[in-house]
Structure 1
């Protein structure tokens, strides 16, 4: 297990997990002077990702892939980013990867003053955005609007980027209105947006994330149960229920659960380390498989981890092995009278306690 200090809170987890929590994405609506031109760049960038998927399935090296994708979108930073996204899509989705949307992305780099292809500059009430045209080399200008609370954060990030101390990834997407997504370093995000809670009583909570409910169990340092509770959002798995609405219900449940844990004196929040799980585990039930497919569990985990850190909790990510379908799991259900999801939350909390004792 590795750990990193994020302002006053600590995040403990596997190397794979910590690599996924280096940055936080913030979003802003953007208006371009020539939106058609940016849309065209996004069209060819998406084509490059689609071509990159085929190269990734063949195991083509990064250098060779960039040369091929440069023929589609003639800017090395775009081509490299497109192939890295293609590799990630293949890793997560296997051979059945579909590219339906338009977007353009460019990786962050300290030596490029933050980012080579998409740049920003903070003004009084908005953010200037520039996107590099890969054919002419000219910049396409726009105005982005973030919440006011993000502007001090972005000013500091801009300053760090100019001094070549931090980089930031950037994406322009076209789902509805054009939107800019900036990847902000986690430590900087928490520095500006945290609201640390008062010290609690040293309690450790385990959270079990599910498609229709969120189960929480809090224990003390002796492993004794202090509290347990379930937040339901059963309608989220109903056939035809809007995906965005389901997401909102789940994230709202997470916020309410964390507020509850702060009130009862929890200091450590424990989740399963889903970055150690390579694929989804499907069942023999068609309806259950539909729930698994629709449920973005890693997305909910990411939201929960960031929210918990913002609220001043220490966060622990534990190996999910044996938290379900194990002898220990069956024993907990028998002895405690818990349902299988509450039993999982209890075992996750116990693993969190074990991690705390190991770190000490």
Structure 2
């Protein structure tokens, strides 16, 4: 049995190629970096409207090159605008009207490429206690900065720097400005796991299905024969109350994830199963205003990403299954009746069964 594997749709696997690590960065000429961010943000905002109007990426590349005269920056900005546009098209409201984008962030990015020795525009060099950052100015020379990722990340970054110099790996990079400049480096997942994984005891081939919700986390453990071994709920109901900050809410949810995975390690689970949210194109809203507030504020994909990475770090195999039928279906109603489960426990059970089915299909 292979361990530490991620099994899911192509869309999901594409979203788990990299892990982002972050650090504050101090630039020697901050105003030059801010100029790049202003131009980049202007391109993203302007391109969204024109993409809606039917213009192609090729047309926009020619049009905006005078605004942001760097092909890689421009390509990254237009790709981001296309992603935002596609997301808005998928989130039409019930009347068929497009939800308008409000771009509040102030940032710029440069996609990675191993042929460019990692990244053409944003480079780094690991020193004894910090990381030197180099940012390409489209209107001038390089801008330098210092980042402090923490000593535990330096061996990882040192190896990535070496791989990039040999044209073996690339890395994406983003510089953002909220309270202060931040650098976000996209590290290859395999390399991140190499440096930060911790072995768990061998399990018994058990499968655990997760149902992630705004106010609770439900887990059902089944055997390879589909027999229910255990089920458990971790509550964090306070996070859905008005006034509860997103940061504190996410911290409580991630703490529940950590506790659940530690529990599963003790039980003998080898496979953890989550819904493949990358197959879900639209958020499902209800007639309940409070319910809609929970849906809109709950960053479910973010929680899924944390759950997947945390699971892989702990050497679980991760399976991502199509969520169709795990919440509203005749089978879901039947499970609630026959097993005496509430809606969320029934969903976790069906998710576990779908994971078992996928594993049986690939054996």
Q: Does 1:319 align with 2:356?
A: no
Q: Does 1:180 align with 2:183?
A: yes
Q: CA deviation at 1:61?
A: 2.4
Q: CA deviation at 1:56?
A: 2.2
**Which deviates further from its counterpart, 278-287 or 303-312?**
278-287
Quote the Cα distance in structure 2 between the aligned partners of 1:36 and 1:306: 36
CA shift digits 1:26-60 (9 cap, x unpaired) = 11111111122212221221111111212322333
Quote the Cα distance in structure 2 between the aligned partners of 1:255 and 1:112: 38
Aligned to 1:27: 22
Structure 1 counterpart SS, 2:5: strand
Task: Give the counterpart of 1:104 among 108, 122, 130.
Answer: 108
Quote the Cα distance in structure 1 between the aligned partners of 2:163 and 2:57: 29
Matches within 5 A, 1:108-257: 108-136=112-140, 138-257=141-260
Structure 1 counterpart SS, 2:229: strand
Aligned to 2:301: 298
Quote the Cα distance in structure 2 between the aligned partners of 1:353 and 1:274: 18
Quote the Cα distance in structure 2 between the aligned partners of 1:46 and 1:206: 40
Q: CA deviation at 1:92?
A: 2.1
Q: CA deviation at 1:204?
A: 0.2
Structure 2 counterpart SS, 1:320: coil
Q: CA deviation at 1:24?
A: 0.8
Aligned to 2:270: 267
Q: CA deviation at 1:148?
A: 1.4
Preserved contact between residue 120 and residue 158 of structure 1 (Cα < 8 Å):
yes
Q: Does 1:345 align with 2:348?
A: yes
Q: CA deviation at 1:101?
A: 1.8
TM-score of the pair, normalised by structure 2: 0.95
Quote the Cα distance in structure 1 between the aligned partners of 2:322 and 2:182: 35
CA shift digits 1:146-199 (9 cap, x unpaired) = 121211111111111111111100001112121110011111111111112111
Q: CA deviation at 1:144?
A: 0.5
Preserved contact between residue 24 and residue 189 of structure 1 (Cα < 8 Å):
yes
TM-score of the pair, normalised by structure 1: 0.96
Q: CA deviation at 1:231?
A: 0.8
Residues paired across the two proteins, number: 353
CA shift digits 1:193-228 (9 cap, x unpaired) = 111211111110000011111100001111111111
Quote the Cα distance in structure 1 between the aligned partners of 2:193 and 2:264: 20
Aligned to 2:95: none
Quote the Cα distance in structure 2 between the aligned partners of 1:146 and 1:52: 33
Task: Give the counterpart of 2:291 among 266, 288, 293.
Answer: 288
Quote the Cα distance in structure 2 between the aligned partners of 1:59 and 1:10: 40
Quote the Cα distance in structure 2 between the aligned partners of 1:163 and 1:69: 33
Aligned to 2:64: 69
Quote the Cα distance in structure 2 between the aligned partners of 1:354 and 1:204: 11
Preserved contact between residue 51 and residue 69 of structure 1 (Cα < 8 Å):
no
Structure 2 counterpart SS, 1:230: strand
